Amino acid sequence: MLVVRHSPLQPLPNPPQKMS
């Protein structure tokens, strides 16, 4: 799963930090 900034599908309450 790649989370790039605010996900349009499911806005996560926590900041997006999944860029490996």
Terminal CA-CA length for the chain: 11
pLDDT tens track of the chain, all 20 residues?
A: 566 665 566 666 666 666 65
Write down the pLDDT at residue 16: 67
**Which residues, in sequence order, are bridge partners of residue 3?**
18
Q: In 3-state terms, what secondary structure has residue 18? A: strand
Write down the pLDDT at residue 4: 65
Q: What are the residues whose beta carbons fall under 8 Å from the beta carbon of 14, sequence distance 6 or more? A: none
The DSSP output letter for 8 is S
Write down the pLDDT at residue 20: 56
The DSSP output letter for 14 is S
Write down the pLDDT at residue 6: 56
Is the separation of the CB atoms in 12 and 3 below 8 Å?
Answer: yes
